[in-house]
Chain A
């Protein structure tokens, strides 16, 4: 859920609660005030009726409401325990509403010429259900109005306020450390955003620096390893020329040499990878890919023959591209080498150029590979000790450098496709 929706939701909830409490209190206070003023009215009526009864004793016989608002009944003294005013709510049939409606009634007792009379005065009063309904509607309108105001506030004003934040989010999403480009921040007067931008800028600079340092380290380390490796291999080669060595010693020597060679290959690949990533292949020229692929397939002819693999070239068209020639060769060499290494004996490899794509496919007993891990350094599927686990990482680094896409899919055969669109 978005930040703005969150604030809207909380505001709406809070308003609902506040308005409900307010309305309840307001309702009872208003009702209290209404009763107060009704009762004052009744009190006044009572005095008026008593006064009128003194001038006109006839009304002392009015014992039904009918068209009046009071009744008077004669009561015996014994029936009166104490003389006091009693207010109460009661129902009375109203002709206009054709229903029983609440009325306020004042019951009192007065004395005239030695006789005691019970007086009831009524007045019509607020219909509470109507009052509640009316109140509810107005509160509901108020509530909706307020929520609408919040929505407007969020969508127009807050959205503008938060714009630098969302623009930052968007830029961070598109940030790629391998491009080593810092992001540009939007101008803002809000202090928190200024601080956020400043800190993110600092973090990114730091990450890029350590990324560069890491790349530099790999390059330097593999560079520095070259000489000691070569020296060790040379020394062992010289030792191997010693005729006095026993068969067992030669065997140990051969294994050691094998491993050192493996290390050399690994080191070479790492060095190549960092050189590509550190952008050390600058010269570019126009290349016909069919020629590159022809050349590579000739280079691999002995290896293909040895594994009895047929390489089928299917060039429906040709692709011309401007890129570094060595990298073009390394890219397709790696892909084809990979296909050869992982192909079953007596199978077929297809190299296809069609509609601006170069696709290399091979058959192996391994089923679909994990496309997410495929280009990760040192990711190996089988237990091939001679595979460096860097071949595809190198191919990916090259395609990334030229903003090409390298994709993999599996339909009983493994397909690696370089898209030149």
Chain B
């Protein structure tokens, strides 16, 4: 899997690169549009992370260029602007997804995984970890072919953590992903814990070969046991 990150903020670029390399992707970077253009001209990428708010040229032009070559699949627009027009125009030009800055790396990870699933695993939209399998379209979860009944939130948590398998997912990242932006001023994320507890119980009574670990008040990690 080959990913190109077009981003001018050096530290941000390093973070994204490091995160994605942990997932064993081949990551290339460009810090301006010119070098981005030349890279796109030479290589094919499975996924392109495109910051459209770089100084100089408009990032949407790169998207137009990609579209003219018929390779807009797998483009995720990253924008600090969080403006609706950018989002609509970007998606109209064929981008797959839109991720407003700032974002959690776990969220980025989940979005990239979703793109790869859509592109590579056409039809069999399924995530498997040990004897646990998550059917994404039908939102069904089963352990060794026995279906689990999960409520909406439990499913979202499990799916998000599974998308970030073996990675530490920050509590606030989990809360934002599952409960939405508006929850983020809640006095604590303790309420997440009760959902995690229920989920753990359901997984362990069904002998799922996964474990939900709490990491020091920072967040949670899903690992295969």
The CA-CA distance from A341 to B182 in the complex, in Å, is 14
- Our pick among A261, A384, A388 for the contact of B172 (Cβ within 8 Å) is A261
Contacts of A329 in B (CB 8 A): 182
Closest to A247 in B: B216
Q: How far is the CA of A223 from the CA of B102 in the complex (A)?
A: 10
B50 CB to nearest chain A CB (Å): 16
Encoded as 1 (CB less than 8 Å from any B CB) or 0, chain A from 218 to 237 comes to 00000100111111011101
Please determine whether B182 and A241 come into contact, CB atoms closer than 8 angstroms. Answer: no
Q: Which residues of A contact B191 (CB under 8 A)?
A: 302-303, 305-307
The answer on a CB contact under 8 Å between B218 and A250 is yes
Partner of A240, one of B11, B186, B192, B218: B218
Whether B101 contacts A231 by the Cβ 8 Å rule is: no
The total of Cβ contacts below 8 Å across the A-B interface reads 108
Residue of A at shortest CB range from B13? A231
A399 within 8 A of B: no
> Contacts A234-B104, A235-B15, A237-B168 given: A257-B185 contact, CB under 8 Å?
no
> A250 touches which one: B172, B185, B216 (CB < 8 A)?
B216
**Residue among B103, B106, B184, B190 making CB contact with A268, cutoff 8 Å:** B184
Q: Which residues of A contact B19 (CB under 8 A)?
A: 234, 238
Query: Cβ of A181: which chain B residues have Cβ within 8 Å of it?
Result: none
Asked if B182 and A333 make an inter-chain contact with CB atoms under 8 angstroms apart, the answer reads: yes
Whole-angstrom distance between the alpha carbons of A81 and B168 in the complex? 138
Contact of A386 among B168, B187, B219 (CB under 8 A): B187
Nearest B residue to A252, CB-CB:
B216
Interface set, chain A 378-398, CB cutoff 8 A to B:
384, 386-388, 391
Q: A227-B12, A234-B19, A337-B185 are in contact. Are A257 and B104 (CB under 8 A)?
A: no
Does A183 interact with chain B (Cβ within 8 Å)? no
- Asked if A251 is at the interface (CB within 8 A of a chain B CB), the reply is yes
Interface string of B168-201 (1 = CB under 8 A from A): 1010100000011011111110111011000000
Q: List 24 A-B contacts (CB under 8 A).
A: A227-B101, A227-B102, A229-B102, A230-B101, A234-B19, A237-B104, A237-B218, A240-B216, A241-B22, A251-B216, A258-B217, A261-B170, A299-B179, A299-B182, A302-B179, A302-B195, A303-B183, A307-B191, A330-B182, A340-B186, A341-B186, A384-B187, A387-B185, A387-B187
Taking A226-B80, A240-B219 as given, write out 9 further A-B residue pairs in contact, using a Cβ cutoff of 8 Å, ordered by the A residue number: A223-B80, A240-B215, A253-B218, A258-B217, A299-B179, A305-B191, A305-B194, A306-B190, A341-B185
